[in-house]
Every structure is written in structure tokens, then in C-alpha cells.
Chains A and B, each alone.
With several copies, the nearest count.
Chain A
């Protein structure tokens, strides 16, 4: 038996023993996932157990070093773990911006002390993080952000406003882009960390056109942030942000690619929907594009894993994938007719179809608009002038 096979064997037994039956069903919504944090209410004892058992083995962050709460697995081993978890439909033990976003930034830019201090609580689901990037005046043009941290010697005093901070109302800490030099646009931003319970922090949830959302507006009124709560150097936070943005787009585009492409027309037919001839044609043309994009996702993922992908290619994947998803939901609404217009009824699952359709409209805005993606393709891939 190869070493990897032995590892697989070990994992399989461990999962068999430790993954509660309730945790072997797919997560059905964001609130169904396990988010952890100081004030988190577990949905069930099984959910708590599963998170804690994984955390104890380092399996909430399998590839992080053991000293930071990970399991120190190699890429192959991590893949085995994923495969074995998928085999029994095991849920992810912990959903966390700390794991997805801050962790990679700290691992890359943090000091040893910071890693020791911040990563363990993330891995154990003890501290829940949120991300403070966008501001009302700084969306696509993120670098124009105005939230200001005034230098007061051993601390900054932060004033300003963030928007689109997911779960700001539930998070314990925030990683936040703050201007620390007004004279220097790119090199005047710092990447600060602070407690959301600090005096002067308030949040307000944002209601979307699709209904309630995890997004918040977050306000900072003279928030005190000690000088050691910074990732990377002062005024060099943009480097950290860029690193994470690339990471995020790759994640978003990878997510799209992961799903097995299915035929929308077949799915609608399974739902008993009869397609008008013109709509049938549109669905067929959509299916062509969707199945072709599935091939593209597979190709991109193969290329990315083997280091063959153009570094700007995630921008193309995000652009094409999100535009496709919006189109799919438009077609689904047309196919559903008046039934798809229902907003609150029980029959419609509380308007699941119409709310889902509206939610997709954000796909081509969040994480970089389609326009920004096209700009980046024009500049970095096509090498067009002045782009």
C-alpha cells in the first residue's frame, strides 16, 4: 500500500468515526453552514461536534501548518481528504472568511507572532472575521477609498464607512483597508485588523432587491486600533488587497467550474415545464454556451493546477461565468411564467425562483464588475494600448 493509500485508509476510518450522520447531508443555505465565532449559535450538537473534531485534527484548514492550527497536509493529501469527505457527502466543518481570505493574507504577509496569534482562533472557529474593503464612493475604483486612520503614535484612530461587509453584524473582528496617507493613492493604504466590539463601530444590514442579505454597511467613529494590528507594512496594504483579490476571483471562477454542467432544457423538462418554441430555441442556444463553458472551466482548472493558465484568465472566467448565470436565470424565469413571479407564497418556497433570479444580478458586480473584468482582459491578456 502506498503512503497515500495508507493515508486515505486512515482518513476514511477517521471520518467514519467522527463525522456525525447529520453532517453527511448537503448544506442547503448560507445559514445552514457552520460559521463559528464568539456569539455563534450552533444549529445542532452535531454541527458543533463536527467542527470541533475537525479543528482538533487541523481539518478545518488542512494545508495550514500544524503550529497555526492546520493539519500540515500536502496538496495530494488534502485532495484525498476532499475526496473522502465528498464520498460520504460530509459538509465543510467551518465556513469562514478567516479561512478563505485573511488566512492566506496572514500566511503570506504576516509576522510569525501574528500567525500564532490570529490563525489558531480562525482554525478553531473561535473568531469570526469580516472584510472591510468597499466604500460607498469606492466600488470598482477600490483604491480611492477614504476611510482614514489617523496616526496617534501607538495607535490609529479610524473614521469612515464601509459597505458590502458580509456578516459585519455577526463577525467578531474585521480586516479592513484604511487610508493612512492621504497624499499617496496606492501607497497610502494599510491593511488593519480590529475587534468589531471596539467602541465606535456600528453596523446596519443592507436590504437587497432580492430581500434580506448578509451584507452590511459598517461605520467607524473614532475607532482606536493599536499599531501592531496591521498586516504587512504601513501604507503597503494595497499589496495585500491585490493578493487577496486575485485569490478571490480565482476562487469564484473555480466555484463555477466545479459544478457538473447540466442541460437547462433537460432540467426544465424534468420540472414538467413545456417550452414555447422560441424559448426552446433560446434554451438550446444557452445550453450550447453553458456546456461549452463547462469545458472551459475544466480546461482552466487543469491549466491553473499545472501552472499553465494566464494569470489574468480568472477575470475571463468570472466574466463569462457570471454573465452565463444571469442568462440562465432569465430563461428560468421565462420558463416559469407567472408561477415564477410569486414572491412570498408557500408554493414558490417564499419566492425562491424570483429571489434567486434577482440575486444573480449581483454576480457581475461583486468581486469585480464585468466591466472591470473586460478592462483587465483588454490590458493584461490582449495587450491593447492605454487600457
Chain B
């Protein structure tokens, strides 16, 4: 398959770009929810508009009421989310959550998919328990209790955790913390007793929560996939999250680069547009090249994932690492090239810097994924 959009994909991209420029802009979304100290950190109105456009079902099979598209298409949406810094539960709900639900029982699907599809529900995924991404380590205990389970433990920095109607939780049902087996995915509804959220606002104004599970009782229908056999589904969720956030990072990089080159084309110092200075031109040209390459890597990873290729895992890590480093360069150059005003909250470039940092951390930073590339390549 060639690495450029089909006509359908190009049309989707146009639609989403126009819609997001109109509705998802920094002022009307990010700044608005930040400055009003919204406890969700995002707007439910926009989330329902996403649903009206069908975007929430982009990865949901047509049979289940979705659009039945793939990661390439999800990436198109996420790139625009990134470009506009739009706070949105799209990634955790429509990408990672939907990937989890695809493996769930009809009962669970019936309970949660309608809300996802109509924009009335939000999902969040609780995997990591430490400060660095490490899905190989799942310690939160789910002991058998009657026909169900009793959960005890913590999950750290769950994005949209307290806003989510349902948490997809990776729990240890047998074996040791780092065992691949013995891990079970559970759908934990918001209102169940014993779940405590400590809300935290992150640097990019997104809301996350540290979640404590204190003898939380769930019945057996909460299980997604097989008991002790959640790893494969978790891998799919994780891959979807990683490649999705890669596209979002590419969007962040492009957005930051766009306002930076615009600034270079208008700001004057020493009687010249600063974009005339060759040192800045070369750095901008290098940055362009990095963003283009990151974009290609994310695109390729999405194609491989959609095709079910065995090379997908490696390429997903390449994409996440490359998108992180390109976006990091884009925001660092962006702030520096803006000079003093780039340091002010009044300008948007600093917001890109904050978002880049959070997204780079989310689902494994560049170093984590470089390490994965080494391991998967056998060194």
C-alpha cells in the first residue's frame, strides 16, 4: 500500500482539519478549559460533536455501529488534535478504549459502546503503576472473590481517570509482577465502591488521577478477554495508544513549527525579518526534515498495524521515539526562535512545549522506545 492518503482518507483529513480549526482551537478549547479550571480538563460539548461526525467510532467495527476504519484514520484525527492542542478524551476512549472493547464480551460492549459512540461516555486506561511507562510490570492485585474479583493496589497518573465512566484496568490475577501471563483486563465502572481518584492537573492542563483500589469488588462480567490472559489485548491497546500518540505528537510538532515559521516571516530585528538569518533558516530546514520523517514513521507504523504485520511492534516504537524527538525539537526551537514572547503565556508556543512533554511521557518516552527497538532487534 502506498504511503499517501487514499481519496477517502484525504477527504476525512479535510473534514477533520476544517472542523478542528473551527471548533478545536487553542483559545476556545485548551485555554478555555484551563482558565476556567475545568475539573475534566476538556469539553463534553466538543466530545459529542466528535460523536456526531462519527469520529468516536473510527476504530469500532461497522457491525458494532462504528466506521470500521484503521489506525491510519485515527491518526488523521489525532494529528489535528495535536496541531490544535485540543484537550480530548479521543485517544483514551476511541482509540485505546475501543481497542479494549473490541476484545470484550457482548455484555460489556452493550454497556459501554453506545456511550462511546454518542459521546456521552469517556473511557480511560489504567496500566502503569510507577512514574515511567512499564506495561510489563502489573502489580495491582485482583484476587478471586466469589464469582468475581477483589482489587487492591494503585495506578499512577491515569489520563482522564476521574472523568472516565469506565476504567480499563490491567490487574494481576496470578504470577509475579513482571510475568507476561497472569494478567487480566477488567472494566471498572466509575461508581463502584472503593475506587479513589486523586486528581492532578498536569503541565499541559490535562487532568489525570492517581487511582487507589481499596478492596474493590467486581463481578466476573467485568473481565475483558480471558482471565490470566489479558496480555495480548493489552499489547493491542498499548500499540494503539503508542501509535496514536505518535500522530498527536506529529500534529503538535507541525502546529508548533507552523506558528514558528509564521513568526520568522513577520518578526523584525536589526531591520531584517528574523527568518532571513541563515542560522535560523538552517535550523528550521533541519526541523522540517525531522518532522517529515516522524510523520512518515507514524504513518508506516499505522499501516503495518492495520495490516496486522509482525513488523508493526518495532515500527510503532520507532514512530513513538521519532515523533517524541521531532516534537521536542520543534517546541524547543519554537520557544527559542520566538525569543522573549515565547516565554509568555500570552503566546501559544509555550503551550505546545507543555503538551509535547506530556505526550512524550505518555506510553513510553523516546528512550524507552529506543530501548525497545534495541531489544526487538536482538541487542
Contacts and interface: CB of A to CB of B under 8 A. Distances in A.
- A and B: direct contact (Cβ < 8 Å)? yes
Interface of A: 134, 136-141, 144, 163-164, 206-210, 263, 265-266, 268-269, 275-285, 287-289, 291-293, 295-296, 298-300, 302-303, 306, 308, 316, 319-320, 326, 330, 333-334, 336-345, 351, 354, 357-358, 361-362, 364-366, 369-371, 373-375, 377-378, 381-387
Given A284-B373, A292-B322, A365-B339, A338 B131 contact: yes
A288 B366 contact: yes
A276 B374 contact: no
Contact of B203 (A141, A263, A293, A341): A341
Given A283-B374, A296-B297, A374-B285, A365 B343 contact: yes
A80 B292 CA distance: 31
B336 A266 contact: no
B358 interface: yes
Contact of B357 (A163, A341, A345, A386): A341
Nearest to A310: B292
Contacts of A382: 261, 281, 284-285, 288
A293 B293 contact: yes
Nearest to B133: A337
A276 B321 CA distance: 14
A306 B2 contact: yes
Given A269-B378, A333-B357, A336-B131, A292 B285 contact: no
Which 8 residue pairs spanning A and B have beta carbons closest together?
A209-B350, A337-B131, A295-B300, A338-B157, A292-B297, A299-B3, A377-B285, A278-B367
Interface stretch (B110-118, B141-149, B217-225, B262-270): B262-270
Contacts of A320: 289, 293
A213 to B, nearest CB: 8
Contact of A134 (B2, B284, B286, B340): B340
Given A295-B299, A299-B299, A377-B288, A358 B350 contact: yes
Contacts of B339: 139-140, 365, 369
A341 B276 CA distance: 36
B83 interface: no
A339 B130 CA distance: 9
Given A288-B318, A384-B281, A281 B370 contact: yes
Interface of B: 2-4, 128, 130-133, 156-157, 200-205, 208, 261, 264-265, 268-273, 275-282, 284-286, 288-289, 292-294, 296-297, 299-301, 314-315, 317-319, 321-322, 325, 328, 332, 335-336, 339-346, 350-351, 353-354, 357-358, 361, 365-371, 373-374, 377-379
26 contacts: A140-B269, A140-B270, A208-B350, A263-B373, A265-B378, A265-B379, A266-B377, A278-B367, A280-B379, A282-B367, A284-B374, A295-B299, A296-B293, A298-B3, A300-B296, A302-B2, A302-B3, A302-B4, A303-B3, A337-B132, A343-B202, A345-B201, A361-B342, A366-B340, A383-B261, A387-B281
A275 B360 CA distance: 17
Contact of B200 (A342, A371, A381, A384): A342
Contacts of B370: 278, 281, 284-285, 287-288
Contacts of B350: 208-209, 358
Nearest to A327: B332
Contacts of A333: 357
A329 B362 CA distance: 18
A362 B344 CA distance: 10
Contacts of A316: 285, 288-289, 292
Given A209-B343, A287-B377, A302-B3, A378 B284 contact: yes
Contacts of A303: 3-4
Given A275-B379, A341-B157, A362-B343, A384 B293 contact: no
A150 B199 CA distance: 56
A137 B277 CA distance: 17
Contacts of B279: 371, 374
A208 B293 CA distance: 32
Contacts of B293: 289, 292-293, 295-296, 320
A306 B4 CA distance: 9
Given A280-B379, A288-B370, 5 more contacts: A206-B344, A263-B373, A366-B340, A384-B276, A386-B275
Contacts of B132: 276, 337-338
Chain A interface secondary structure, helix, strand, loop or mixed? helix
A207 to B, nearest CB: 4
Nearest to B130: A337
A302 B6 CA distance: 12
B375 to A, nearest CB: 9
A379 to B, nearest CB: 8
A136 B133 CA distance: 42
A326 B336 CA distance: 11
A280 B367 CA distance: 10
A291 B276 CA distance: 33
Nearest to B358: A341
A334 B367 contact: yes
B4 A308 contact: yes
B304 to A, nearest CB: 10
A341 B361 contact: yes
B318 A292 contact: yes
A333 B361 CA distance: 9
Given A284-B374, A302-B4, A345 B200 contact: yes
B157 A361 contact: no
Contacts of A283: 374, 379
B9 to A, nearest CB: 13
A358 B335 CA distance: 10
Contacts of B361: 337-338, 340-341
A378 B368 contact: no
Contacts of B369: 288
Given A299-B4, A342-B202, A289 B264 contact: no
